[in-house]
Amino acid sequence: AIRGINMLRLGTQTTNLAKLGITSKCHLLDCIVGSVKYVVRSKFTAETHCVIDGADQGISIALTLHEIANGPVGTQVATDLANYAGLDFDIHCVTDAMNLLLSVKNIDMTHQTDKQFIDHLLWLKNKLGNGVVKRLAWTNKRDMTADGHTKRAIKRTALHALMNGRMTIQYRRES
């Protein structure tokens, strides 16, 4: 599977990302495009690994921005910031896999076909529970800007808008 991840810094005037049709200022900080490095049994597992990779990379970027804003931190403080709430910059993960949201909310240890995969779901649930990742949200495929990296038949207008510092949410999001 091919993954595409966009890391954004939204403008300080952005107060409600749930309002449809509102254009927000943003900075495109990082793009990750490439193949998934795991052998997996399902598309769901591949998509989940991509979200987890994005969350992990987002924590690293948020920690870097935190240090730029506040000065260098020691190893123990950096570890605490990465494991518990306290970063100056919020991390929101957005996916078009609704089944991931449902799985994180209701992790079922008895019916998982891939037992090692449960560890990854629990890691994500832990980051959400501790407030390191503020929100895991589902969005319509048509609002997925990262799909502009990986799909041939998709319009790239949303991706071009990100590169120009604008993001518009056209469709309803769920958390």
Among left, alpha and beta (phi > 0; psi -120 to 50; other), residue 97 is beta
13 pLDDT higher than 60? no
Give 172's pLDDT tier (boundaries 50, 70, 90). Answer: confident
- Sequence-ordered list of residues with C-beta below 8 angstroms from that of 7, at least 6 positions apart, any chain: 28, 29, 30, 31, 32, 54, 57, 58, 61
Give 167's pLDDT tier (boundaries 50, 70, 90). Answer: confident
Give 154's pLDDT tier (boundaries 50, 70, 90). Answer: low
Give 94's pLDDT tier (boundaries 50, 70, 90). Answer: confident
Give 151's pLDDT tier (boundaries 50, 70, 90). Answer: low
* Closest of 38, 35, 43, 34 to residue 116, by C-alpha: 38
Q: What pTM does this model have?
A: 0.79
Tokens at 144, concatenated: 């997925």
Quick: pLDDT tens for 14-72. 445 555 666 777 777 777 776 666 677 777 887 888 888 889 988 998 999 899 999 99
Side-chain half-sphere of 105: how many Cα atoms within 13 Å?
A: 11
